[in-house]
Structure 1
Amino acid sequence: MTDIHDFQGNILCNTSSVLGEGPTYDPDTDTVWWFNILGKELHELNLSTGRKDVHSLPVMASVLARVDAERQLIATEEGLFIRDIGTGELTFYAALENDKPENRSNDGRTHISGSLWIGTMGKRAEMQAGAIYHVAGGKVTKIFDGISIPNSICFSPDGSIGYFTDTRISRLMRVLVDPQTGLPAGEPIVMVDSMEDPGGIDGSVCDADGYIWNARWGSGFVDRYSPDGLRIERYRVPAMQPSCPAFIGKNADRLAVTTAWEGLDEDARSMQPEAGALMELGITVRGVFDPVYTL
């Protein structure tokens, strides 16, 4: 039986994002970063001071990776850019499907090798229009193709296993990965098949014990899966469209989750006024920080 827990957490930031996504945490500055993709915004929340900033972007962006104290790598609809944290200036880094202007970036995450996996999708979620790419040292390599809505990209703590999904199909895939390079070392297999369940598998993170925490879009739950694919716990959130979790706090022992109100009519939004907020589950976890990206 799956244990179901009511929401015991809190709202970290009630700035309402149309499509909140891509949360990550910088332990050096105690800062949570996340995107409002459709609003072309990068959000910044310092947990120590409570200071909140919203940075306008010229493009839709979805994933941020730490590089060093001064720089970040961000994935956007127009490719990969280095962002200067102090000034916000974007410098082009690498092309990502520059022959497909109808696509944009979506879910992604850094690997312990210092590489990045980044997914793309059609701006209208066209069938099988996207792919997942491996990025290392500026070199972009397509590793999985024909994906409609790439999500759930995360890795086991030792970097030997990668996970991903196509939210439209809602099967969580598992693939062996070379810990030294972050490249796939085998063919993906289905680990979780949840096509028959309400909602769809969205963003995920993998904790220090190899358990996968998944935001289930359209269900109002954050689910916890064992390393062998059993859903063992469900945590309610006061928004039906949670999009991606992130380990936060100086010890990576807290869990935040982005949410969205994209596609909701007025009645649906009135029923869930917190939709689009950044939430914390209010539980203690054994998380790990996202690795830095190596230029």
Structure 2
Amino acid sequence: MTGPTVAVPAGNTLGEGVLWCDREEVVYWTDIAQSKLWRYRPADGDVATWDMPERLAAMALCEADGWLLLALASRLAFFHPESAEFRYLHSLHGVRADCRANDGACDRQGRFVFGMLHEPTEGPKQPVAPFLRLNADLTLEVLPLPTVAISNSIAFSPTGDTMYFCDSLQKQILQCDYGDTLGDARLFTDLRHEPGEPDGSAVDAEGFLWNARWGDARVVRYRPDGTEERSLRMPVSQPTRPVFGGSSRQTLYITSAHDGLDDLARAAEPLAGHLFAFDTGIAGLAEPRFAGDPNSLPPRAARGTSAENS
């Protein structure tokens, strides 16, 4: 079986948040560290980027054509790439001032669920960051889930009644019954005795969870009972998040990072930070779209935001 190939030689410091848009047939992702949104169109190889006003951690497609929902470091916003227009929603400073947005995904009901990451001014990260949900009416709620140091692995079962999530530093992927109310968190799979940390995840049409293993150079497919079904070896040590895309949704696009690698490690990993593609032969699911309406907010033109194409 051939391995992943480079789709875009992006060289991202911290590539993350990858999405496939069926309507546009493009891949969106972010370089968090460089505050930049990326877009790739496989049909003709077109690549475009947009500078963001601050670090962009995660995003969701919207039911409203042409719009994205952004989880910026300190606030939520709608963004229209073609017009470079922002419409701002909630500030996250009031949630917890020493945390920023991190991983996020839309649930099957059209709501955006995201977690935060602790950024202390000194000392190690602590498990104090919450998970939140932006509802279709644009109200924001804190979910009754365990707080974390680094939120990751947010994904939903095909029927939408199970949510997956983790604290990367705890090295355990958890799950809970999910709906308007949430059940208690319970263990999905325990990775404490394995190398690396769990990062972003995607669920395929068979209900298996694919998790990027930061520091372990792998993307692992887990059965619904949490046991490992297969392992995809990556040419970089820090894969960050997979998503299913392409016309048949069988292509796994995977972001990666070179964040924290020293010069020697960078030289040994010349592909670190690139966007990868891999034909799995397994179908993914259509990306859920956020049901809230960007047009319910007043327009606010972007300033200092540019698009570049190559």
> Shorter-chain TM-score: what band?
over 0.9
Choose which of 100, 106, 109 in structure 2 pairs with 1:104: 100
TM-superposed deviation, 1:217: 0.4
Post-superposition shift, 1:97?
A: 3.9
Partner of 1:225: 222
- Structure 2 residue aligned with 1:70: 66
TM-score, normalisation: structure 2: 0.89
- SS of the aligned residue for 1:91 comes to strand
Which residue of 1 is the match for residue 296 of structure 2? none
Q: How many residues matched?
A: 286
2:7 is aligned, of 1, 5, 12, to 12
Q: Is the 8 A contact 1:201 1:216 kept in 2?
A: yes
The amino acid that maps onto 1:62 is A
The structure 1 residue matched to 2:38, chosen from 34, 43, 49, is: 43
Q: Give per-residue Cα distances to partners, 1:202-230, cap 9 Å, x unaligned.
A: 10011111100000000000000000000
**TM-score, structure 1 as length reference:** 0.93
Residue number in structure 2 paired with 1:58: 53
Structure 2 equivalent of residue 141 of structure 1:
141
The C-alpha deviation readout for 1:119-170, integer Å capped at 9, x for no partner, is 1112367211311111102111111242001000000011010000000001
Corresponding residue to 2:118 among 115, 119, 122: 122
Structure 2 unmatched ranges of 5 or more: 293-310
CA distance in 2, matches of 1:260, 1:241: 6
Query: Does 2:263 match 1:266?
Result: yes
Cα deviation per residue 1:169-197 (whole Å; 9 max; x = unaligned)? 0111010012xx4x42x101011111110
**Percent identity between the aligned chains?**
27
Q: Deviations over 1:58-77 (max 9, x none)?
A: 11011121112221110011
Assess if the C-alpha contact under 8 Å between 2:96 and 2:129 holds in 1: no
- What residue identity is the alignment partner of 1:127? Q
**CA separation in 1, counterparts of 2:113 and 2:133?**
5
Q: Which residue number corresponds to residue 290 of structure 2? A: 293
Q: C-alpha offsets along residues 213-264 of structure 1, whole Å, 9 cap, x if unaligned?
A: 0000000000000000001111011100000001111221110110000000
Measured after TM superposition, the shift of residue 9 of structure 1 is 2.4
- Cα offset, 1:93, TM superposition: 1.5
User: Following the alignment from structure 1 to structure 2, what is the Cα–Cα distance between the partners of residues 70 and 64?
Assistant: 13
**2:96 & 2:13 partners in 1: Cα distance?**
24
The CA distance in 2 between the partners of 1:9 and 1:126, in whole Å, is 32
* Structure 2 SS opposite 1:168: helix
Letter in 2 for 1:60: R
Q: In structure 1, what is the equivalent of residue 304 of structure 2?
A: none
CA distance in 1 between counterparts of 2:96 and 2:177 reads 29
1:208 aligns with 205
| Alpha carbons 2:212, 2:218 under 8 Å: kept | yes
What letter is aligned with 2:70? I
Question: Is the counterpart of residue 32 in structure 1 residue 12 in structure 2?
Answer: no
Matched residue, 2:80 = 84
Instruction: Could you tell me which runs of 5 or more consecutive residues in structure 1 were left unpaired when the two chains were aligned.
Output: none
Q: Match for residue 246 of structure 2?
A: 249
Whole-Å separation in 2 of the counterparts to 1:147 and 1:245 = 21
